[in-house]
Structure 1
Amino acid sequence: MTLNPKKTSNILLLIASFVIVSLILWNTNSFFKKFKEEERLKMEIWATAQSELLQSSEDRDLGNLHVKIFQNNTSTPMILVNKDQSIKVNNITEDEAQDTSYLTKKIVQFQAENTPISIDYKGEQLATLYYGNSEVLNRLKYYPIALLLIIFLFGAVIFFFFKTNKASEQNKLWAGMAKETAHQIGTPLTSLLGWNELLKAENISTSITDEIDKDIMRLQTITERFSKIGSLPKLKEYDIVQETKDAYDYLKLRSSKLIQFSFDSKIESLPVLLNRELYHWTIENLVKNGIDAMRGKGSISIEIIPSGNFVTILVSDSGQGIPKSNFNNIFNPGVTSKKRGWGLGLSLVKRIVEEYHQGKIKVLSSSKEGTIMKISLKVNA
């Protein structure tokens, strides 16, 4: 089995990224431990100086050494508790040093961060030194988390970029195919118009030529629909009830007698901005999908319900239903349950409704008893 070169490069890139991140985290952790050990060593030196001072407070030079060591610590917070329970602090504000409860909490915190250092002399404990992590060490502790967050965000940006780019390429592909189809239909359609005019001149029965005219008009409508995919169509005010019924009736007259059709509108008319050809295509696609799901036998119904500034169009069928996990996937290009089909119908429907008409379409419900598709469009006030 051979791997796709693009997939192989993606896998290698993922492995390389993982190795780099691992090395950075390992190096950061090592640096953190080393820095913490150095701070510990400084505290032990300070504790030793403090021990010597407590043992010989009359030694002036030793006191100066202690003071010098004490003053050199400007980053690590410390609390020194003497055996008489007197307290000395360093790198803690004066107000905080006067707050006993605050110091008690800090001692507990320092104990959790670092093991306290006992200052002893000849087996006697003179004092206990509690110290916390310096500000630099605290920042360094959260550095790996910040790094992982940055990497995660960077990865998410790249993922969404490629996903959007892929979707854009797919849309361009479908739009290109639609326009090419419209272009290809145009040539034989022109010939059909000419041949039909010749038939009329030969005094052929008008019932035949009229039916040919209907089919030619139908092909012209299909051509116009395909030509508008990929470009922003013009919207005009139409009666949503009448346009839905026209598209619905067209399929009703051309479908099997085994299918029961019903149409119900809660209003007589309602103005909505539409592209008539594309809206008819949407209704026809949904009805045809319902018929396919029923395998040519069952019931199809359309219901129009006004709701505030919106109007809802429900297309119901008594087909085999759609698994809930596929409620969103069915609108993706290439997704189809048919053995023969490209899976373009519902993806085009979604584009027509949401991108061209600024509406919404979704699977309202679906079960073994059937499916209900819901379209919501804004009313033209």
Structure 2
Amino acid sequence: MISETSKKKPKFRLHPTAILNSQRLRSSLMDTYDQKSVYKYIIGVILLGLSIGSLFYTDKLVEELEQREEREVQLYAEGLRYVVNSPFDENFNVVYQVIQDAVNFYQIPAIYVDENNQANPNLNIKFPKKVKPQERERIIAEKLAEMKLEHPPITVDIGKGRTGYIYYSNSFLLTQLRYYPFLQLSVMLLIGYLAYLAFSSARKAEQNRVWVGLAKETAHQLGTPLSSLMAWVEYFRSDPAIDPSIAEEIEKDVIRLEMITTRFSNIGSVPTLRQEPVAEIVSDFIHYLEKRVSSKVKFGVHNELAVEQTALINKNLFEWVIENICKNAVDAMGGIGEINVTLQAPPNTKEIWIDISDTGKGMTKANMNKIFNPGFSTKKRGWGLGLTLAKRIIENYHSGKLFVKSSEVGKGTTFRISLGANIIE
């Protein structure tokens, strides 16, 4: 006969070394993420500094080139004044031609408007081939209107109280240079974005290799003691002096460990997904979990799904996700409170939403942004990997989403799992 005391489940206590190693691993993971965040900020500051420096330097070049072009147009105006006010002389024509060539060299569009408001001559105005006189005048009028808005005219004193004006606009080179910094900034942002994607992809691939290696090694290490435990179960059953219920309870725990081992071994492999009744699986697992946590935690399942509603999932991995979220909720409530699971299929969507709410201590916005980072945990014990693995299982294997729907400090937190639903006709 077994006494009531002997029937009590022994409390499992972690060895101090295991606790220390767990804390070290969590600290190492968090340090790695903090360092990467610092590197991102440093790279961002460097790119921002280069971009601002490029903008200022290019703006200075544009200003200098603009002043130079203005001087060239003023020289053109002087040459034009000399030609108009002086008797015909080949030397003046040569001087005027040299100044005109300088303006042409910089490809500065310019139009001279005489005292009768006639626009002639013009420089560097592009016309279509075989343009008609009326079309030519229209193009000149349009260009002149644009020039009047761009720069103030340069006055040409042609004598006898007569005054002409030269209107001009920036050269094509100057226009290009003015917009070049924005093009350069866009290219730098694009390169930075592509580099970020490459870095993130490489980092995720590296993390996946680490998690897969850790999971498979854990499954491998669990294999030997599980075989030994099964042998001990058979030994207890064969001994008539030992209460059979002991062997049954140990066997349940061994089966549970085998399931956990199977979960770990499935990490990194493409899991088999089947159309499963989501509500049934969630309800059965919550019922199983309810008996294995504090009796002061009350569970509630609110199912709004159709009885035949299914989703493509891997049952073992999906139950693992539910377990991780619920156990985190139990810890957040200190073993006292309520956990409510709501299943619903929003109208006009092809999704199933599973909301898991607790009445725990809640989270700050800062913690909400870190909750899925490996190694992050608000508890003194633990590796901070449960929610990280849960998110990967839902998003990588089930093509769904896992996120914090809402959280309020002192009131509780709600996690949402979003899965693709099998549409019921």
Identity %: 34
Please state how far the C-alpha of 1:323 moved relative to its aligned partner: 2.1
Q: Which runs of 5+ in 2 are unaligned?
A: 1-31, 128-132
Match for residue 90 of structure 1? 123
1:101 deviates by 6.5
Task: Output the amino acid matched with 2:110.
Answer: M
**Within 5 Å, which residues of 2 pair with 1:150-189?**
150-189=187-226
The answer as to whether partners of 1:175 and 1:230 remain within 8 angstroms in 2 is: yes
Q: Which residue of 2 aligns with 1:289?
A: 328
Match of 2:316 among 258, 277, 288: 277
Distance change in 2, residues 1:13/1:351 (3 Å): closer
The superposition leaves residues 160-200 of structure 1 with CA deviations (integer Å, 9 ceiling, x where unpaired) of 32233223222221221111111111111111111221222
Q: CA deviation at 1:125?
A: 5.7
Aligned-partner SS, 2:371: helix
* 1:195-344 alignment, distance < 5 Å: 195-203=232-240, 204-266=242-304, 267-307=306-346, 308-344=349-385
Q: Secondary structure at the match of 1:320?
A: coil
Q: Does 2:83 match 1:53?
A: yes
Tell me if 1:79 matches 2:117: no
Contact kept, 8 Å, 1:182 with 1:224, in 2: the verdict is yes
Q: Name the SS of the counterpart of 1:380 in structure 2.
A: coil
CA, structure 1 residues 19+335, in 2 after alignment: closer, same or farther (shift >3 Å)?
closer
Deviation string for 1:271-303 (max 9, x for gaps)?
222211111111111111111111110111212
User: Could you tell me the TM-score, scaled by structure 2's length?
Assistant: 0.77
Once residues 331 and 9 of structure 1 are traced to their aligned partners in structure 2, the CA distance between those partners, rounded to angstroms, is 20
Does the CA contact (< 8 Å) of 1:118 and 1:125 recur in 2? no
Out of 255-264 and 93-102, give the one that drifted further.
Answer: 93-102
State the Cα distance separating 1:20 from its structure 2 match: 7.3
CA contact (8 A) 1:319 1:369 kept: yes
- Do 1:110 and 1:130's aligned partners in 2 also have CA atoms closer than 8 Å? no
Which residue does 1:42 correspond to in 2? 72
Shift of 1:251: 1.2
CA pair 16-220 structure 1, distance change in 2 beyond 3 A: closer
Q: Residue 166 of structure 2 is aligned with which of 117, 129, 153?
A: 129
Q: 1:22 deviation in Å?
A: 7.8
**Number of corresponding residues:** 374
Which residue of structure 2 lines up, in the alignment, with residue 119 of structure 1? 156
Distance 1:22 1:376, change over 3 A: closer
Instruction: Give the Cα–Cα distance (whole angstroms) in 1 for the partners of residues 382 and 180 of structure 2.
Output: 53
Letter in 1 for 2:223: G
Of residues 174, 179, 194, the one that matches 1:142 is 179
Q: Deviation of residue 330 (structure 1)?
A: 1.3
Residue 152 of structure 1 and its aligned partner are, at CA, apart by 2.5
Native 8 Å contact 2:108 2:124 kept in 1: yes
Distance 1:206 1:71 in 2: 109
Distance change >3 Å, CA 34–CA 319, structure 1 → 2: closer
Shift of residue 374 of structure 1? 1.5
The Cα shift of 1:27 comes to: 6.5
Cα distance in structure 1, aligned partners of 2:51 and 2:175: 21
In structure 1, the residue matched to 2:130 is: none
Secondary structure at 2:363 match in 1: coil
Q: Secondary structure at the match of 2:329?
A: helix
Change (3 A) 1:295 1:9: closer
Equivalent residue for 2:28? Answer: none
Q: How big is the shift at 1:215?
A: 0.7
Distance 1:194 1:127 in 2: 110
Q: 1:337 to 1:144 in 2, by over 3 A?
A: same
Conserved 8 A contact 1:119-1:126 = yes
Is the counterpart of residue 105 in structure 1 residue 145 in structure 2? yes
Select between 320-329 and 130-139 the one with higher mean Cα deviation: 320-329
Pair 31,123 (structure 1): closer, same or farther in 2 beyond 3 Å: farther
Aligned letter for 1:90?
A: L
Distance 1:349 1:12 in 2: 31
**Which moves more between the two structures, 14-23 or 117-126?**
14-23
- How far is the alpha carbon of 1:315 from its aligned partner? 1.2
Unpaired runs of at least 5, structure 1: none
Task: Verify the 8 A CA contact 1:241 1:269 in the aligned structure 2.
Answer: no
Amino acid of the residue matched to residue 261 of structure 2?
T
Root-mean-square deviation over aligned CA pairs: 3.3
